[in-house]
Amino acid sequence: MNPIGLYIHIPFCNGKCPYCDFYSVTPQDETVKSYVLAICKKLDKTDRIYDTVYFGGGTPSLIGSDNIAKIMSHIIRTPDCEATLECNPSDTGAINSVFDFDIVAKSGINRISMGLQSAVDVERQALGRRGGCDDVERAIKRVKRAGIDNISLDLMLGIPNQTEESLKKSIDFCKSSGAKHVSAYILKIEENTPFYRIKDKLSLPDEDETCDLYLYAVSELEKSGFYQYEISNFSQKGFESRHNLKYWHCEEYLGIGASAHSFTDGKRFYYERSIDGFIREKPPVDDGFGGDEEEYIMLALRLSEGLIFGEFEKRFNKPLSENIILKAKELEKHKLIKVTDKSISLTSEGFLVSNSVIYELIK
């Protein structure tokens, strides 16, 4: 049986950022203990080997280095397994932080993803991020001292009061920090978040300005050695997120934890957004989807490499529809798509309107 990816959701946060709509709650000692035990029990019941592991959240580092190591001890991994841990630098970089990166490194964690969002403190404060850029710097130093050199930083685009000059400071920070990977996301105001309730009072760039900031980020990140391999993801060569590539290549992965999603054996399913339900071993829910042609096309076009004709034919035992290729050639005139004899891919401008472009291709 081939190795697959493993996603573990840790739904605990010390406080929700005003733009966040992910499932998370404030950690309580007994709840954390029971939740970690439930994850370990679930892992012991699986018979798969994993070549990527990803701890997401929430804030996974909040459960402590010992609990991360405990969960890792229940995961059967390949020797070259990429194991990523998300952490909040405001916690792990605080002067009095007790989180021990040496412990998680010895357990097998070899990649760290940090929520920088901005290297400009006033922008971090506007986003509700605790601590300053000095906490991020301390956290990075601690990660490197533990022998983990594969570091990814998150940036946000189109945030309150952001300019090209302030964005350049954040990109320069990513380069000087020694990060190998950057995820740059455009801020989206989600319903049921504090930002949504005050959206008319936020000093946000307009749509055109946000598009300009995105294209500026693409250009500046590539000048800094981070090439774009997906709509929102940039890396030095060889440091792409192997785990996230599984999602975009429609490869198999198992999700464990409240609200975690899975794709195995041609089926997609998920656990409900309930810590108590997961602890009580409530079974996951089938979401009715499972790697069909449209989904494959949609996910492939998120990548800079795009939709490769040979890979599509290999997967579905038939060539890509000529009608889709003709539509793509029409969109190529508007500089939204690139078409070769081997693939269809979106340009940076096309990524900005990817939903509309993909809909035009597959409708």
> Which pLDDT score is estimated for 45?
95
339: left (phi over 0), alpha (psi -120 to 50) or beta: beta
- b/e for 224-251, b at 16 or more Cβ within 10 A? bebebbbbbbbbeeebbbbbbbbbbebb
Q: Please give the domain boundaries of the chain with CATH numbers for all domains.
A: 4-247 (3.20.20.70), 292-363 (1.10.10.920)
- b/e for 49-82, b at 16 or more Cβ within 10 A? ebbbbbbbbbbbbbbbbebbbbbbeebebeeebb
Q: Looking at 139-143, 191-195, 215-219, 280-284, which range is the least confident one?
A: 191-195
Q: How does pLDDT run across 288-299, given as a tens digit for each residue?
A: 767 789 999 999
pLDDT-based confidence at residue 60 (cuts at 50, 70, 90): very high
Best mean pLDDT range from 20-34, 180-194, 223-237? 223-237
Long-range contacts, 206-209 (Cβ 8 Å, 24+): 209/158
3-class DSSP state for residue 338?
strand
Q: Quick check: 357 pLDDT over 80?
A: yes
Structure tokens at 204: 């946000």
Host H or E run for residue 142: helix 133-145
Taking the C-alpha atoms of residue 110 and residue 106, their distance in angstroms, rounded to an integer, is: 9
Looking at every residue in the chain, the average pLDDT score rounds to 93
Taking the C-alpha atoms of residue 228 and residue 245, their distance in angstroms, rounded to an integer, is: 13
Q: What is the mean pLDDT of residues 299-319?
A: 96
Q: What is the mean pLDDT of residues 277-287?
A: 94
DSSP for residue 319: P
Q: Quick check: 71 pLDDT over 90?
A: yes
Q: Quick check: 50 pLDDT over 80?
A: yes
